[in-house]
Chain A
């Protein structure tokens, strides 16, 4: 049975309808102008074709009013489309505060997904429906792109930095996940699925998958293994309690917000930014932690409330 040819992918996110609407408007504009140009050419070509009675043309220099009209009208349409598209884009740029976080590490040629609760997936992302999901992503090697056509979102996944995308699924099901930035030999095999479930189902799936504890737990273990506490718990290095999301004053007088990127940089390139009042003695852990482990450390640090700094073990 022919279900009807699909012109657009599944509309499975809150923004899909809006994007499709703008897309249809643009398509209408495109068809409209293409048709009038084609028709005009057709009509003029036939009506004014050369024949015995029409060897010469009527020389017309131009018409200022027409020039203005066909400059201003397209400009108006462009302004409209620009504003519309920008409005949608801005609305989709910032994730809602209550977003559920998931962490993604791309590498040639697979997706490694970590849920804060500790579940890890490869090439699959399970999420609950009707819940905003914020992905924090990085790459271990080259630039990839986490693309979910059904949600109308994609974002490049760049080594050396965190990029973010967010979406809220509106229906359950399995949806394509593509790598959308050419990344080498098996770029076209770097595919997966986003699996959207009912909340209850999702909880069940989640609890079934937890093995060794949450990401923050794993981060705590790493924190201990790497002996971070020897400085950060003794005053040699700044306390990390409650720093996530707060401004940090640096020794050159500037101030920076302690977000994921800052924490990552501090672990890998500690000399880049020195907190005011401290010496630049932190060693680098580059090569000792993977991108996933960095995300776990970040999850741990995020979880530290002020006055909850773990005391160094005696």
Chain B
């Protein structure tokens, strides 16, 4: 076990505790940069939503709240399985870890698939894809187009983060299958967990902002 512990410790750290703290702190800092990255988009969206309220409300009404809500549930569920995966890694339960990683990946893929096929493809076919196929010509057409631009950009950037997340989770899965993670070596799982929760939280902001404005109820 000491060999395992020794190889888990990178040469620049004094002990595993320091390594763990550094890895965790590093991920939090990275998430701070991600907040700023998305923040720019949120700022732009907020300003234009204020400027073009009718158009943005109209655009928002064209989104499918049910699918959005399903996706929200999927993502929250995946955060649950991710948290359980982190716990499993911390307690050295390999089978549980593998199971929960697979579940998280599946849920993540489900989210992306739902988005791609049921929402984006649908919007494209309906002529609501700015620059590619935008044929909406009703009232406030220009602001509706701007709304959809922000919709696609924000959910697109979010989806890109999810794809990266799924990729990392796949790598973790392979490593977990090989039994690489345990109580003294779980930083990557925990860090990815933090990242995954962050991506989830971004969606939790995106969903109301994009789908639920305009007082549709």
Contact = CB atoms under 8 A, between A and B. Distances in A.
* Touch A–B, Cβ below 8 Å: yes
Interface of A: 271-272, 280
5 contacts: A271-B54, A271-B139, A271-B140, A272-B52, A280-B139
Contacts of B139: 271, 280
B27 to A, nearest CB: 38
Interface of B: 52, 54, 139-140
Contacts of A280: 139
Nearest to B139: A271
B47 to A, nearest CB: 14
B158 to A, nearest CB: 30
How would you classify the secondary structure of chain A's contact residues: helix, strand, loop or mixed? helix
Contacts of A271: 54, 139-140
B136 to A, nearest CB: 14
Contacts of B52: 272
Tell me whether chain B's interface is mostly helix, strand or loop, or mixed.
loop
B59 to A, nearest CB: 14
4 A-B pairs with the lowest CB-CB distances in the bound complex, closest first: A271-B140, A271-B139, A271-B54, A280-B139
Nearest to A252: B53
B143 to A, nearest CB: 9
A271 B139 CA distance: 8
A278 B52 CA distance: 19
A271 to B, nearest CB: 6
Contacts of B54: 271
A271 B143 CA distance: 11
A127 to B, nearest CB: 36
B51 to A, nearest CB: 9
B141 to A, nearest CB: 10
Nearest to A280: B139
A194 to B, nearest CB: 35
A56 B52 CA distance: 70
A270 to B, nearest CB: 11
B25 to A, nearest CB: 32
A306 B139 CA distance: 32
A272 B52 CA distance: 8
Nearest to B55: A271
Contacts of A272: 52
Contacts of B140: 271
A280 B54 CA distance: 12
Nearest to B141: A271
A137 to B, nearest CB: 22
A8 B139 CA distance: 54
B58 to A, nearest CB: 11
Nearest to A286: B142
A241 B94 CA distance: 80
A143 B54 CA distance: 28
A10 to B, nearest CB: 41
B29 to A, nearest CB: 31
A271 B52 CA distance: 10
A272 B54 CA distance: 8
A109 to B, nearest CB: 28
A78 B5 CA distance: 58
